[in-house]
Chains A and B, each alone.
Chain A
Amino acid sequence: MKELFTNHLQEISRRHFLLESAAGIGGVALSTLLGGCFSGKPKELMTDSMFPRVPHFAGKAKSVIYLHMAGAPSQFETFDFKPELQKLHNQLCPQSLLEGKKFAFIRGTPKMLGPQASFKQYGESRTWVSQHLPHLSTVVDEMSFLHAVSTDQFNHAPAQLLVHTGAPRLGRPSIGSWVTYGLGTENANLPGFVVLTSGGKTPDAGKSVWGSGFLPSVYQGVQCRSVGEPVLYLNDPEGIDRDLKKKTIDAINQVNQEHYKEFQDPETLTRINQYELAYRMQMSVPEVMNINNEPASIHELYGTNPGKVSFANNCLLARKLVEQGVRFVQLFDWGWDSHGTDENLAIDIGLRNKCREIDRATTALLMDLKQRGLLDETLVVWGGEFGRTPMQENRENKIMPFLGRDHHVEAFTMWMAGGGIKKGASWGETDEIGYYPTKGKVSLHDVQATILNQLGFDHEKLTYQFQGRPFRLTDVEGKVISEIVS
């Protein structure tokens, strides 16, 4: 099977993509006509580029929900409890921490900033969680924490690109694209890779974090929206009802069939198939994007508010999407860049509010997945693009109007749950002030390798031939974090 898969991936490499996409209905026709080219391959390999495929080995997870807190949440007010830092509060930062370091905004000698939240231990795992996350603290025994994730990018856009594409510059495929390229989708009537955003902005790196890079564009993330059309151009134009749209598509396809009879281009058959799919998508997407019909208990659980754009709504949508067979759901929530430049970006005000916005919904997502028996096969990942400094930001060497923390690359916290991840585990530790990892340091490529591993991929073998060499998500790095894999 492994070999078949590798063969298959080679087949849909750049130069063969033309052929590969000429499938769908046409696949059958093609396979008979091509004979030698495809002989000996299972039938499913001949169908279209989103057809469900088997990974390298049996993965625990079938789908992924990735919650990205864009702007980078502070680990000190969430999951990395540092009582020693409190003792150093307001003292000048020792030079040893500053020498040879580059910061985005800190200049001169900043002061240390103690945790602006109190912590308690929860669950059987005795996990420290801040007071800002009262709901999440009840489900810590479902989660595995990574307390010593590190990166080498201290600006948002490149750092987000590194998280999602494995490289800090634009142009590489995002993780969701890699996954749909490798696995296809289980529900052809929905996009295989869906993106939901909240917080009023797209992430700093823009749509590139869900782009398909050099992979065929069919693998790029499709942004679904709670306001306006759920997917761009999904709604029929005003004045065209469903019945008439059906008739239109039928007519187009009948004429195309005639055209196919004459020209025999398999691509025409694919197009016929895609028009049918488009019609079905027009029904299934609004259906799955509509949360009005969810029971009151679910709304209560998530704290959802139908008709609005919110992180809570997106969490509920994410559950609905994976339930319907969507492979990769990416949530971006903007507004976590707590520099202290204004109230919304203050560590003690804005950050607390952001935590409240996500606390109940994230918890609900885990509980809801669990009660539906979906958590075991759904990997949930939470994190930002880097961490924040234990020092208080002093932009331009001045006192900031509010308490803030600058970008910090050395260590930050992420967590995963479900999808074959250990329950109530923790890996990685930082020093007494949360500055450097002291144990279990992992890179973002390690995190990516782990996500792919849970889906059944050897991250070194999920490759795509481009510009004469095989590219992969984890570039030339990455190691599965076995410590949190069950």
Chain B
Amino acid sequence: MLKTTNLLILSVLIAAFSGCKKQLGQQIDYSLDVKPIINKHCISCHGGVKRQANFSLLFRQDALDTTEFGKPSIIPGDADHSELMRRITSDDPEERMPYKENALSKNEIKILKDWIDQGAKWGNHWAYVPPTQVEVPSRSLFAGIFGSAVTKETEIDYFIDKKLKTEHLSRAQAAGKTDIIRRLYLDLIGLPPSSKQAENFILDDGDDAYEKVVDQLLASPQYGEKWASWWLDLARYSDTKGYERDAGRNIWRFRDYVIQSFNKDKPFDQFTIDQLAGDLLPKPTDEQYIATAFHRNTMNNDEGGTEDEEFRVASTLDRLNTTFQVWQSTTFACVQCHSHPYDPFRHEEYYKTLAFFNNSRDEDTYGEHPLLRMYDEKDQQKLDGIIGWVKKTNPSKEESILLFLKTLEPKIHPHDFDHFVNGELIDTKFLGVRHNGSTRLTNVDLTNKTTLVINHQTPEKGGTIEIHVDQLNGALVAKFAVPSGKGGKWNTSLIPIQKTNGVHTLYFTFTNPKLKEGHPVSTVEWIAFREDLPGSNQAGYKAIKKDVDSLINHSVDNTPIMIENTERVRTTHVLERGNWLVHGESVKPEVPKSLNLFPQGQQYNRLGFANWLVDKNNPLTARTVVNRVWEQLFGIGLVETSEDFGTQGAKPTHPELLDYLALGLINEHHWSLKKLIKDMVMCQSYRQDSRITAEQLEKDPLNKLVSRGPHIRLSAEQVRDQALSLSGLLSLKMYGKSSMPYQPDGVWQSVWSDDKWETSKGEDKHRRGIYIYSKRTSPYPSMMTFDGSSREICTVNRIRTNTPLQALVTLNDPVYVEAAKAFAKKMAASSTDPSNQINFGYKSALFKEMADTKLKVLTRLYHDALETYKKNPDQAMKLINEAKPELAALTIVASAILNLDELITN
């Protein structure tokens, strides 16, 4: 250190005396000036992946270290003696860096030289430094030119205006009332306003007319449905398991949880904790358990012959990657195989962080355990009775027994068994041991265990299972006749075992001499070892035990959830190059060093980790949320690369605004998303007109500076919901199992699966897009055409495309034809004059009179169509199932209206 300081002083002195080649005081900034050069020219060979010549520029420590050539490449304070400078300026093509690429520019070389001379200080990338209080810019001079008494600037506008001013742009005028009301409705609840709702606003001259609507919409139940689709993309929510069989998964309660949480305005910190670690909270509620399904949305491979552990590991990696994508805008997946190529995360840090997630009970089993059992009122009464009994007889057992009755955990799965004799894992899923066969289970703690719980299917009577301790012919701890059940029914049986303390290896032997060759004595899905239900010597015990038996055997609806291992705890290893089979050193849970410290007093588990994410010192969480919400409303984030805040991502266009909003979210709004959203939609910048001028298109083509109002194509859900809403078909039924609206025949052809698309009946087929059944390997076609997510992996933002297939959907998909017909009926009822009918249709969608030029075009279409249908009444019959040429012609026009650019965009 002393040496470095001396060198630094020396170099400053030399610089001072050497004719002042460089301007003193022109401080080089690592993040702004140096890092971009390194990322562009050096890092691909000297970074976290490749370390050519043992030289890496990722961390300062590594960069100053001795290289393969026996000396350091950078000597802080002494560029002239730094090998790096020699190499980037060398004339020898074999030596000159970047190797075989174009040389650095003079300016780049000068920056690196100055930087080294100034001590080669490493700076922190903006995103890893927590936001600090920012000064709100003063009200801009030109602000308010278009403002009236009812349109007041907010602090957000001051930031936006300041930046616009530097680009010699100014804010556009306020959008007309008809435009802004539609934009606001679509953005807040995902649906256009009804004519009446729009009219109420347009006619309301009060100062608070706009704010009143904002408050109403934020309080509307449809608000949660709109914003849930954003979150469900992040959560990769789907109604199927993925991979080959892609069978159904009963996880819709998680979707409902998200909708309800948005509607309740659950603070985002709590929303985070519930989803990542709800199961670890004290006495978790069903809601908190269901929240943890967030990370049960990983895929599960049912394909025959798969190794459960391989896909368990894949799920765990996905959880970590997704968590960093969702909460930290960080591309952590890079670090799975090697240190991050650009950002300051080391390979081991990935696995240390993974250790937080690596100890959950789920193991890629066919049954998707653990599952939260959803009890009805009667069952709940039984459960309450049992828990009451436990509280009375041995309260220390309450937690464990409650967990077991609600989840049947912790259980042991067939893939933990080995040493099969005359037996196998059936389809790699179930334990299937045949007559005179046996299998082994190691590492079982039998201390205080008195009961074996076994979930199995046994069609044939006469089978016996024995359990021997430590050897095939060791001491017998259990022998029981396997209870059989008719018709393939699964039973959960409670079998007494002899008390044996300590950890043992168990041998299970199976016999049933009556069985035909090749049939298993019993097909076992899982087992569990349990302690006695307390109070066996007290009156009423038998009845309580019977309730337990009836409760756990009751076939109930359920939801996959997270539960932490308590018994068979896993050790996390670094996986070499991310390969699940190649274990490196073992690691303990820890968070990456480049980010905030682990909060004091928190346990090193998922709960502690979740608290770390929402800790005030975490530099990324609040910025990430603010940026994503901004992106939803303005079409592009303050950081354009909303998936990546790292050094390869875009810089924030308005860094102060980003921090101002992030700090406001934490300190003033206490993580309320509704308040954050209200702040954003209340500002004048959001409420601008969206017409584009040539100047704006030149200076701000993507509207990153918010020089005009957002003009964005509607999302897949919105395109559908709007058409159904305008036509009056839309059902606002909320929650419950996903629905299956019309889908062409033959779209689902999954292998090894009998799952069928069965079109929902009645109003269910007209529910909002958020409720459409989502199958990963065969997503709903029209949603995908409009860039919906197939929910295979976490999707941060949907890339908006503009394709001919989209036109085919809105023109030809029977869903839209049906909507056009219903829309036409409404139009027909409004007037007897076709032009008025058409204008009515347009106005009910856009709340303004149709311009004459446009009206003429559609009126002509109407008459052309009418002529066709009058000539061919059977065509009208085919289209609308009614022999009414006028209605058929109007249906054509209604379809055209539903296809207008004005409707497809906000």
Contacts and interface: CB of A to CB of B under 8 A. Distances in A.
Interface of A: 14-15, 17-19, 21-22, 30, 33-37, 49, 102-105, 107, 154-158, 169-171, 191, 197, 200-208, 211, 216-218, 220, 222, 225, 227-229, 231-241, 243-245, 247-249, 251-252, 254-256, 258-260, 262-268, 270-272, 274-275, 277-278, 281-282, 334, 396-398, 406-407, 465-469
A20 to B, nearest CB: 10
A309 to B, nearest CB: 9
Nearest to A274: B804
Given A206-B750, A207-B778, A157 B243 contact: yes
A15 B641 contact: yes
A396 B424 contact: yes
B779 A207 contact: yes
B808 A14 contact: no
A469 B242 contact: no
B8 interface: no
Q: Which one of B650, B745, B747, B777 has the greatest number of beta carbons of chain A within 10 Å? A: B777
Interface centre among B426, B778, B902 (most CB of A within 10 A): B902
Interface of B: 242-244, 246, 299, 301, 303-307, 314, 325, 331, 333-334, 341-343, 420, 422, 424-426, 432, 518, 636, 640-641, 643-644, 646, 648-650, 690-694, 697-698, 701-702, 711, 713, 744-747, 749-751, 776-779, 781-782, 784-785, 787, 790, 792-793, 799-809, 811-814, 817, 851, 853-854, 857-858, 860-861, 864-865, 868, 875-880, 888, 892, 895-896, 899-902, 904-905
Contacts of B644: 467-468
A271 B784 contact: no
Given A170-B299, A225-B746, A240-B879, A468 B801 contact: no
A274 B806 contact: yes
B904 A105 contact: no
B658 to A, nearest CB: 17
Contacts of B334: 467-469
Contacts of B432: 396
B299 A282 contact: no
B888 A239 contact: yes
Most buried by B among A158, A282, A407, A465: A158
A204 B646 CA distance: 36
Given A33-B697, A469-B341, A233 B782 contact: yes
A197 B851 CA distance: 48
Contacts of A155: 244, 301, 303, 305-306
Nearest to A266: B697
Contacts of A469: 331, 334, 341-342, 648
Contacts of A465: 648
A58 B39 CA distance: 31
Contacts of B801: 17, 21, 49, 216-218
Contacts of B751: 156, 201-204, 334
Contacts of B246: 206
A157 B303 contact: yes
B306 A239 contact: no
Given A105-B304, A255-B854, A255-B857, 14 more contacts: A15-B640, A21-B800, A21-B801, A104-B306, A201-B749, A206-B778, A237-B814, A238-B878, A252-B900, A263-B691, A264-B697, A275-B804, A275-B899, A469-B648
A264 to B, nearest CB: 4
A263 B895 contact: no
A396 B426 contact: yes
Given A239-B888, A271-B901, A263 B690 contact: yes
Given A156-B303, A271-B904, A281 B808 contact: yes
A237 B812 contact: yes
B749 A34 contact: no
Contacts of A254: 854, 857
B297 to A, nearest CB: 13
A278 B304 CA distance: 42
A105 B314 contact: no
Residue of B244, B420, B690, B691 contacting most chain A CB atoms (<10 Å): B244
A247 B243 contact: no
A35 B306 contact: no
Contacts of B701: 19, 30, 33-34, 37
A204 B778 CA distance: 11
B628 to A, nearest CB: 15
B518 A202 contact: no
Contacts of B305: 103-105, 154-155, 406-407
8 contacts: A170-B793, A227-B746, A259-B900, A262-B691, A265-B690, A467-B325, A468-B643, A468-B649
Contact of B802 (A157, A205, A241, A271): A271
Contact of A274 (B306, B799, B803): B803
B784 A217 contact: yes
A413 to B, nearest CB: 22
Contacts of A154: 305
What 9 pairs across the A-B complex have the smallest Cβ distances?
A: A206-B777, A104-B305, A239-B879, A239-B878, A278-B807, A170-B792, A278-B804, A396-B424, A157-B244
B781 A232 contact: yes
B800 A18 contact: yes
Nearest to B782: A233
Given A252-B899, A255-B858, A271-B904, A33 B242 contact: no
A298 to B, nearest CB: 26
B808 to A, nearest CB: 4
A251 B857 contact: yes
Contacts of B785: 217
Given A155-B244, A208-B790, A255-B900, A239 B861 contact: no
B892 to A, nearest CB: 6
Nearest to A102: B307
A239 B899 CA distance: 18
A398 B518 contact: yes
A237 B879 contact: yes
Contact of A228 (B694, B744, B901): B744
A468 B331 contact: yes
B698 A468 contact: no
A229 B702 CA distance: 38
A202 B744 contact: no
A350 to B, nearest CB: 15
Contacts of B806: 274
Contact of B851 (A19, A107, A258): A258
B905 A202 contact: no
Contacts of A18: 636, 702, 799-800
**Of B242, B746, B811, B854, most A-chain CB atoms within 10 Å:** B811
B729 to A, nearest CB: 16
Contact of A248 (B422, B892, B902): B892
Nearest to B343: A468
Contacts of A218: 801, 803
Max count, chain A CB within 10 A of own CB: residue among B306, B426, B518: B306
Contacts of B331: 467-469
Contacts of B851: 258
B805 to A, nearest CB: 7
Contact of B692 (A216, A240, A243, A263): A263
B861 A243 contact: no
A383 B807 CA distance: 36
B426 A259 contact: no
Contacts of A256: 900-901
A231 B781 CA distance: 11
A17 B713 CA distance: 14
A196 to B, nearest CB: 13
B813 A233 contact: yes
In the complex, which of the residues B804, B806, B858 has the most CB atoms of chain A within 10 Å of its own CB atom?
Answer: B804
Contacts of B244: 155-157, 204-205
Contacts of B776: 170, 206, 208
B777 A205 contact: yes
Contacts of B745: 228
A33 B864 contact: no
A31 B905 CA distance: 23
